Amino acid sequence: MGKRIGMEVAVAVAEAVGLCNIDMAAVYPITPQSHIAEHLSDLVADGKIDAEFVTVESEHSAMSAVIGASSAGARSYTATSSQGLMYMHELLPIASAMRLPITMAIANRAVSGPLNILNDHSDIMPQRDSGWISIFVENAQESIDMSIIAFKIAEHKDVMLPVNINIDGFQLTHMVEPFEMPSQEEVNNFLPPFVPHATLHPAKPVTMGAFAMSDYFAEIMKAKDEAVKNSKKVILEVWDEWAKLFGRAYKPVETYKADDAEVLMLTMGSMGETAQMAIDELRAKGVKAGLLKLRLWRPFPFAEIKAAVKNAKKLIVTDRAASFGGPGGPVFSEIKSALYAEAKRPLIYNYIYGLGGRDVPVNDFTGMFERVIADTTSKEADTYEFWGVRE
Amino acid sequence: MALKTWRELPIGCVVSEPGSASEYHTGSWRSQRPVWNNSKCIKCGICYVYCPEGCVQQAEDGFFQANMDYCKGCGICAHECWPRAISMVEEG
């Protein structure tokens, strides 16, 4: 067992990244990510880690700088949130197409407008199709572990893809929580040196990020899709290795009292721990409630989702972002799509909640269960609702 | 040059042969071709200078012609040629 310490999560994430022998970071501050940028730049300025910290003038430049640095063979890191992520948007598919193993923390925050600095998932959801591996975390320990693990997944020779780690803004980034921080020696043991698949070097000239027309574009997209799908094998291997070394196991879909559950709920990110308390309350009353926590968003864990819901009668999918005029929240529509061809699947309900930082106490989760259990005619299934809005 | 399958693409589509862009024949994009009337040409080389593809070449007799493997038919040479020695002709 490592030593348990307490620290603000954003600062702890920067400390964890500081253990990963990064060559460079380019991070533009934005609430609620700023403490990662500030603490990482302190670590560099104080000489605690041997890395370049590039003080870029925007998130567009931050992502451009890490793309350039990673192309030159540097282990490169960035972090952002909300508008900053939106500003990076056009570069995200380029990083994945060039197969650059950049890692990025996203302190999830609502996207404007109206301007709102608090937590939901409306920043990451529009980036869904950018070809990045996308992982959600629930607490301080997971934030730290995944910040270290992300480098190993990204840089694996069979992956070579960028990874983003979604850490709920404020609700996680600004909490002081107890956790175990791995030692430098343990991280050195776990994380091998970065061996890039190609580098920009005058001794061996190459072109990276070249032009491609209609005769090649489809093949390149197919290759990228296969690369993202295939990364799952390595993700599972690396998580297993982490569990052996540190005793903390991670799965694409975490479950809580789900095995015999008749009604399941699915959450992503920090809401999972509150939902878990709701499950305990419901179980105490004899309700067979269970929880699924979707950790791996891309590549999407189809097999694990199917296995996890196969015995449930009803499934409540919670979303922290909307798809305006669409089929429901983005997580809901993906889960529905994943289960479409299943001979036996639960009725699926969708609540969009916790938007723009609105608190979701335990009784909101129990309320969702009560609503769904009371829906005996199933007329509310396959529809979505903004939970708790004033009518 | 046979087109590669998706499995044969190098990781990240890195191009490891310098200058290999010359294997890509942009001439297939062309719908019009430049035709020089050498009786009007004064051999000034404006077409050579302005060609964005770098495919206009000067022959030993001093007159110019375009390499049709690369000429996209953009018409800049014809537009810039002040003695009006170049006309753009529809490709059959």
Q: Tell the CATH superfamily of the A4-246 domain.
A: Thiamin diphosphate (ThDP)-binding fold, Pyr/PP domains (3.40.50.970)
pLDDT of residue A206: 94
Task: Determine, for residues B13 and A197 on separate chains, whether the beta-carbon distance falls below 8 Å.
Answer: no
Closest Cβ opposite residue B3 in set A97, A215, A222: A215
Separation of alpha carbons A78 and A90, rounded Å: 16
pLDDT at A2 over 90: no
Looking at CA atoms only, how far is residue B16 from chain A in angstroms?
5
Pairing of strands A133-136, A296-298: antiparallel
Q: A322-333: b or e for each residue (b if 16 or more CB lie within 10 Å)?
A: bbeeeebbbbbb
pLDDT of residue B1: 66
Give pLDDT tens digits for A64-86.
999 999 999 999 999 999 999 99
Closest alpha carbon within chain B to A157: B11
Domain ranges of chain A: 4-246, 253-386
Q: Which long-range contacts (CB under 8 A, 24 or more apart) does A276-280 make?
A: A277/A362, A277/A365, A278/A362, A278/A363, A278/A365, A278/A366, A278/A369, A279/A365
Closest alpha carbon within chain A to B7: A223
Task: Determine, for residues A207 and B11 on separate chains, whether the beta-carbon distance falls below 8 Å.
Answer: no
Confidence of residue A1 (pLDDT cuts 50, 70, 90): low
Residue A146 near residue A137 (C-beta atoms within 8 A): yes
pLDDT of residue B19: 86
A197 neighbourhood in chain B, CB within 8 Å? 11-12, 14
Looking at CA atoms only, how far is residue B70 from chain A in angstroms?
15
Looking at CA atoms only, how far is residue A225 from chain B in angstroms?
11
Tell which of A67, A94, A207 to mutate to test the B interface (max B CBs under 10 Å): A207
Separation of alpha carbons A220 and A39, rounded Å: 38
Task: Determine, for residues A219 and B16 on separate chains, whether the beta-carbon distance falls below 8 Å.
Answer: no
pLDDT of residue A3: 81
Closest Cβ opposite residue B14 in set A206, A215, A216: A206
Closest alpha carbon within chain A to B17: A206
At B9, which amino acid appears?
L
pLDDT of residue B92: 78
Task: Determine, for residues A198 and B12 on separate chains, whether the beta-carbon distance falls below 8 Å.
Answer: yes
The reported pTM is 0.94
Closest Cβ opposite residue A98 in set B6, B7, B12: B12
Tell which of B6, B17, B72 to mutate to test the A interface (max A CBs under 10 Å): B6
B9 neighbourhood in chain A, CB within 8 Å? 216, 219-220, 223
ipTM of the complex: 0.90
Confidence of residue B23 (pLDDT cuts 50, 70, 90): confident
pLDDT of residue B21: 85
Backbone angles phi, psi at A75, to 5 degrees: -75, 115
Residue A96 near residue A159 (C-beta atoms within 8 A): no
Cβ–Cβ pairs < 8 A, chains A and B: 49
Q: Domain A253-386, what architecture?
A: 3-Layer(aba) Sandwich (3.40)
pLDDT of residue A378: 87
Task: Determine, for residues B12 and A206 on separate chains, whether the beta-carbon distance falls below 8 Å.
Answer: no
In chain B, how many H helices and how many E strands?
2, 4
Average pLDDT score over chain A: 97
Give pLDDT tens digits for A103-138.
999 999 999 999 999 999 999 999 999 999 999 999
Confidence of residue A96 (pLDDT cuts 50, 70, 90): very high
A216 neighbourhood in chain B, CB within 8 Å? 3-4, 9, 13
> Residue A191, SS3?
coil
Q: B72-90: b or e for each residue (b if 16 or more CB lie within 10 Å)?
A: bbbebbbeebeeebbebee
Q: Which domains does chain B have, with CATH numbers?
A: 25-90 (3.30.70.20)
A205 neighbourhood in chain B, CB within 8 Å? 18
pLDDT of residue B57: 97
Give pLDDT tens digits for B32-71.
999 999 999 999 999 999 999 999 999 999 999 999 999 9
Looking at CA atoms only, how far is residue B38 from chain A in angstroms?
36
Give pLDDT tens digits for A82-94.
999 999 999 999 9
Please state, as a whole number, how many other Cβ atoms lie within 10 Å of the Cβ of residue A245: 12
DSSP state at residue A204: B
Q: Would you list which residues of chain A are within 8 Å, Cβ to Cβ, of chain B? A: 97-100, 160, 197-198, 204-208, 210, 212, 215-216, 219-220, 222-223, 226
pLDDT of residue A155: 98
Give pLDDT tens digits for A36-48.
999 999 999 999 9
Question: Mean pLDDT over residues A312-325, rounded?
Answer: 98
Q: Same fold for the domain at A4-246 and the one at A253-386?
A: yes
DSSP state at residue A194: P
A204 neighbourhood in chain B, CB within 8 Å? 16
